[in-house]
Amino acid sequence: MKLSRRVLNMSPSPTMAITSKAKELKAKGVDVIGFGAGEPDFDTPYHIKEAAKEAIDMGFTKYTPPAGIPELRRAVADKLERENGISYEPEQVVITDGAKQALFNLMLSVVDEGDEVIIPAPYWVTYPEQVKFAGGRPVFVETKEIKGFALTLEELKPAVTSKTKMVILCTPHNPTGSVIPKEELQRIGEFCAERGILIASDECYEYLTYDGFKHTSIASLSEEIKAVTVTINALSKAFSMTGWRVGYAAGPKEIIDAMIKINSQSISNVNSIAQKAAVAALTKPKDFLKEWLEAFDQRRRYMVETLNSIPGVSCLMPKGAFYAFPNVKELLKLGNFKDDWALAEFLLSEAKIAVVPGSAFGYPGYLRLSYATSMENIEEGLRRFKEAVERRLNG
Ligand SMILES: Cc1ncc(COP(=O)(O)O)c(C=O)c1O
């Protein structure tokens, strides 16, 4: 059977492949420590699970509207007003199968053959693949390590052409942990609003910021910016609900209606039980977050400090999310590695640790390590990293 050009042109997610490989090895009894996964190691909070159990017991197990249950759309609109300072009507909200499907529906709703979508690099692996799938052309803008990998308007401007349809912003950022400051978001937002360029604002890691850095939602900065922005978020990272698959998008009604139409002809609706759980997550206090953030912060500091003690490795302190993105260019030279893929393979076979090479995020010469794993794993995994490198360099 000949597969479609569209699907043949799509690459599978490398982060998911590396995580699966690590899990496979583990199942075979190999003691692998995984730094690949982008999911918190905490359990979903108890009151959220209780809401799901209640939904099952109440028989809330049927189709829901493709846009999501009214109660959840209202809870999202209230949350965006209360926490992010953006006022949307519930009709401007669509509930999706995680943030990934929100982005997917957005691409299919607005991108036409030949349209250009600007993606700052390094980038989350899914963005370019979804743009291509929709018929668009990803245009990459390299952010700079020296500026903490946070996109600036000066970097964005030269990439804009008459074909530019959209720019994808992700702050706090995967894979670098950068946070775009409010003033820069304002400048980028005003520039896009003046030119009618759509902004997809992926805010999945909004709660995870450190050292006093604060997340700003770009749509909150002016009515003009809001009019060209689709705000995307999910419960996956914030509430440790990666497997539940609940996300959402909020934005101009015309775009949201198109995304709902796609839901109606594809997934029908997000799981009814998970939607009830999401209402509890968004409307009840988030006392658990403080403890999670403290744990992430402690792991972040330990990981960055230890990475910086490994020969040939230098790592910036991430301001948000739960990833470290060390520069390993010097190590590649010292250890005679062909590239960052070769280094990642070496670390998997020699140190039994799974990391993702920067090349997977369009940024060779780096690695991504997630610190959404226990402190014990981080200590042991980095000890092995350091030892394997020292053996290679001294042996
Ligand atoms: C930046 C970013 N956006 C979106 C997602 C997808 O989230 P979800 O699991 O809600 O689809 C991820 C997950 O890794 C991510 O890192």
Name the residue of 151, 174, 201 whose CB sits within 8 Å of the most ligand 1 atoms, as the mutation to test its pocket.
174
Domain boundary among 283, 305, 328: 283
- Band (pLDDT 50/70/90 cuts) for residue 287 is very high
Nearest-atom number in ligand 1 for the CA of 236 is 10
Give every strand in the sheet of 229-234, ordered side by side. Answer: 93-96, 247-250, 229-234, 198-202, 164-170, 116-121, 137-142
* Domain span including residue 25: 5-43+288-394
Same domain, 231 and 380: no
The answer to whether residue 61 scores a pLDDT higher than 80 is yes
Nearest-atom number in ligand 1 for the CA of 321 is 16
- The answer to whether residue 195 sits within a structural domain is yes
Q: How far is the CA of 48 from the centre of ligand 1 (A)?
A: 20
Q: How far is the CA of 257 from the centre of ligand 1 (A)?
A: 22
Residue with tokens 């989350």: 124
| Protein residues with CB under 6 Å of any ligand 1 atom | 38, 98-100, 124, 170, 174, 202, 204, 234, 236, 242, 247
Residues in the chain: 395
- The answer to whether residue 55 sits within a structural domain is no
Same domain, 108 and 74: yes
Pairing of strands 164-170, 116-121: parallel
- The answer to whether residue 219 sits within a structural domain is yes
Name the residue of 215, 236, 239, 248 whose CB sits within 8 Å of the most ligand 1 atoms, as the mutation to test its pocket.
236
Name the residue of 13, 16, 96, 100 whose CB sits within 8 Å of the most ligand 1 atoms, as the mutation to test its pocket.
100
Same domain, 368 and 267: no
Same domain, 216 and 338: no
Same domain, 272 and 153: yes
Closest residue to atom 7 of ligand 1, CA basis? 99
Q: List, for residues 113-165, the tens digit of each pLDDT value.
A: 999 999 999 999 999 999 999 999 999 999 999 999 999 999 999 999 999 99
Q: In degrees to the nearest 10, what's the CA dihedral of 236, 283, 296, 25? A: -30
| Omega within 30 of 0 (cis) for the link into 181 | no
Closest residue to atom 13 of ligand 1, CA basis? 38
Q: How far is the CA of 126 from the centre of ligand 1 (A)?
A: 9
Closest residue to atom 10 of ligand 1, CA basis? 98
H or E stretch covering 94: strand 93-96
Q: How far is 170 from 233, CA to CA, in rounded Å?
A: 10
Q: List, for residues 273-284, the tens digit of each pLDDT value.
A: 999 999 999 999
Same domain, 236 and 102: yes
H or E stretch covering 227: helix 223-227
Same domain, 209 and 296: no
Mean pLDDT of the chain: 96
Q: List, for residues 87-97, the tens digit of each pLDDT value.
A: 999 999 999 99
The pLDDT value given to residue 16: 75
Same domain, 145 and 242: yes
Domain count, the chain: 2
- The answer to whether residue 363 sits within a structural domain is yes
CATH number of the domain where residue 210 is located: 3.40.640.10
- Band (pLDDT 50/70/90 cuts) for residue 241 is very high
